[in-house]
Chain A
Amino acid sequence: MSTPLDTTTGAARTPDAGTPDRDLPQLGLAAALVLVGAYTFYDATTLRIGFGDPVGPRVFPYVIGAVTVLLGVLLALSTLRGDVPEAEGGEDVDLRQPADWVTVLKLVGVLMVTVLTVSFLGWAISGAILFVGSAWSLGSRTLVRDVIVGLVLSVGSWYAFHEGLGVILPAGILDGVL
């Protein structure tokens, strides 16, 4: 909302107004767009064309890939000309502080643990680990309470899906216990 970032975007669109404050990480996004677009284009060239289909499977990816590359180039150009993005605000978002990427990394780590363990540990345990780990990463230090809440959530959702919705989440090592 009324964050300092808002005011910069108005000036960013007219490059001659004010000092150009470049957002260089945006070049990374532009590069990613060019890469994705180029790969989409390349992938389309490997497709065989069917019969009785004048458009074929290639046209759409050709267009999408080409435009994506073009958008990446345009983004790179406007970044160099001082175009600054307007980061999104929100109820719990405080844009006046620098971004805390360490917390984000921890959360992604916790999520990856869930991805890797859910098949053999089962949802009841992996889900609880996800909750406890995320709360810990976000700064909670009430470990015992978090473990209890996490277990209630994960075991509760296992039973709710099993009994209420007929969706059987994997029980994993708790097979037979739940």
Chain B
Amino acid sequence: MDNLGLLADGFGSVLTPENLLFAAIGVLLGTFVGVLPGIGPAMAVALLLPVTYGLDPIPAFIMFAGIYYGGMYGGSTTSILLNTPGESASVMTALEGNLMARAGRAAQALATAAIGSFIAGTIGTLLVVFFAPALASVAVEIGAPSYFALMVLAMIMVTSVLGGSPLRGFIALFIGLTIGLVGLDLNTGQPRLSFDQPLLADRIDVVVVAVGIFALGEALWVAAHLRRSPLHVIPVGRPWMDRSDFRRSWGPWLRGTAYGFPFGALPAGGAEIPTFLSYLTEKRIAKRKGIDEFGKGAIEGVAGPEAANNASAAGTFVPLLALGLPVTATSAVMLAALQGYGIEPGPGLMTDQPELVWALLASLLVGNALLLVLNLPLAPVWAKLLRIPRPQLYAGILFFAALGAYASNLQAFDLFLLVLLGLLGLAMRRFGLPVLPLILGVILGPLMEFRLREAMAISGGDVSGLWSEPLAVAIYVVVALVVVAPFVVRAVRPTPEVPTVDASGSVEDDAADSPGNEEALR
């Protein structure tokens, strides 16, 4: 395959001693930040963006790849040892993982999570290698009308399919679109929403938005509701697995990967649904085999969802690289980082910057392998991080958030914007507004306007130019279905018996029969 040759070239540019050092630093930093309680992968990547300022694109990407997988793995360590998942994707891992840890099998839970993440991440990234270029070669043929339609689809999916309240999703999306408007208009060069401030006319840096909403907003929200009593941390030794653990894990790893990748690659990505499906499947299979340990700490319940989570994370690179569409918070931050290197997201990415894209894919594989090598021995060290006193921990988060926002342009004004955006992030958490649609609006809004004006310029101002391509029409049909479907379902079945795939709801069901759960939360 041609793709493998290109990937080999990517490895060629990645595998130098210096770059491997950057990868190792990235993995260590990513895990370090990801393990810290209260920090999910998206926040970890946002906080660590400034570390890569001043680096060349390739070393920076390698470090990103390490940070990305490190942050994800760090998050699952926290959820296993604390039973308080930092993000919805690790809710399922936390269920059985924490029960295993309580039963004295924390080492095995961490090991199956690490190896499962490695296997799923590697398979997932290899699938990206095969799918993304094919999709990208189709994507370059996509005209402005279809691309505009595609962005509408991504926004509608993320706002109305994921998350509980569509109204709140749309509010977040339109706040994001408004932030995206600030600055000079692309065609006429007039400042919009800039209050005659030259610094605002320069557009608001996406990094400042991401750090403000994710890191500062979260830190302020935690400050308002800080848990005053310490959480119970389960001590852990060096992760290891014996033969029977392996025998029970490999099936869930592969099935989890099979669930995770397609969901990640779809515009309605996210890891909540595949981790949930993987959990249910493993539970059912275990019951049929008659070795059902679910509810008592089943290793399958960690191996499957954890693999699904990582495979889905790898899958999100397909729309990200082929179409320039971020579908998870973490990939939105990654896209912001790519934009920082002058890489324009969009269908042309793989053809315009092939060496960068292949280097990024190769670094994902390298980062994944390093993660396994470094983190199995280091797990006990990471577990100690969970004991950092909270005032110092969140003071440190504020410190690094300020550093990140400041270091990109060295403008005190950026810090002021950061505080404002942090307060917005706080308000969003208070009012239950989802964060992802906002970031998506900030990033995709300007691109959407650009494509709209391009499409209309081609058609000479005729609105029908927007559906002049068959693909655009097809996408609008899907959009209509997505919008209409919930109403139809509600009309046909007024009181749905089937539990919605809502992570928090399902946890409560399972938490009810684990008596230790409440005490852990206290």
Whether B53 is near chain A, meaning CB under 8 Å from some CB there, is: yes
Min distance, Cβ B193 to any Cβ of chain A, angstroms: 5
Whether B82 is near chain A, meaning CB under 8 Å from some CB there, is: yes
Q: Are B174 and A167 in contact (CB under 8 A)?
A: no
Q: Are A53 and B457 in contact (CB under 8 A)?
A: yes
Contacts of B403 on A, CB cut-off 8 Å? 123, 127, 157
Q: Are A138 and B192 in contact (CB under 8 A)?
A: no
Given contacts A88-B429, A103-B223, A134-B394, contact A60 B171 (CB under 8 A): no
Contacts of B445 on A, CB cut-off 8 Å? 60, 64
A149–B423 CA distance with the chains assembled, in angstroms: 26
Q: Are B181 and A40 in contact (CB under 8 A)?
A: yes
Interface residues of B in 161-219 (CB under 8 A from A): 164-165, 167-168, 170-171, 174-175, 177-178, 181, 185, 187-188, 190, 192-193, 218-219
Q: Are A2 and B449 in contact (CB under 8 A)?
A: no
Q: Are A90 and B390 in contact (CB under 8 A)?
A: no
Chain A contributes a number of interface residues (CB within 8 A of B) equal to: 88
State which of A49, A75, A112 has its C-beta within 8 Å of the C-beta of B419: A112
Whether B136 is near chain A, meaning CB under 8 Å from some CB there, is: no
**Contact-residue size bin, chain B (C-beta under 8 Å from the other chain):** 35 or more
A88–B503 CA distance with the chains assembled, in angstroms: 13
Contacts of A149 on B, CB cut-off 8 Å? 392
Given contacts A75-B167, A114-B415, contact A87 B429 (CB under 8 A): yes
Least CB separation from B390: chain A residue = A92
Contacts of A52 on B, CB cut-off 8 Å? 457
Q: Are B394 and A93 in contact (CB under 8 A)?
A: no
Min distance, Cβ A9 to any Cβ of chain B, angstroms: 7
Given contacts A60-B181, A118-B406, A161-B407, contact A107 B226 (CB under 8 A): no
Rank and list the top 5 A-B pairs by shortest CB-CB distance, nearest first: A54-B461, A85-B432, A140-B391, A165-B54, A134-B395
Q: Which residues of A contact B (CB under 8 A)?
A: 1-2, 6, 9, 25-26, 29, 33, 36-37, 39-40, 43-44, 47-50, 52-57, 59-61, 64-65, 67-68, 71, 74-75, 78, 83, 85-95, 97, 99-101, 103-104, 107-108, 110-112, 114-116, 118-119, 123, 127, 130-132, 134-140, 146, 149-150, 153-154, 157, 161, 164-167, 169-170
Q: Which residues of B contact A (CB under 8 A)?
A: 37-38, 50-51, 53-55, 78, 82, 84-86, 164-165, 167-168, 170-171, 174-175, 177-178, 181, 185, 187-188, 190, 192-193, 218-228, 231, 389-392, 394-396, 398-399, 402-403, 406-407, 410, 412, 415-416, 418-419, 422-423, 426-427, 429-433, 445, 449, 452-453, 456-457, 460-461, 504-505, 507-508, 511, 517-518, 521
Sampled A-B contacts (8; CB under 8 Å): A64-B177, A71-B170, A85-B433, A88-B221, A97-B225, A104-B224, A153-B399, A161-B407
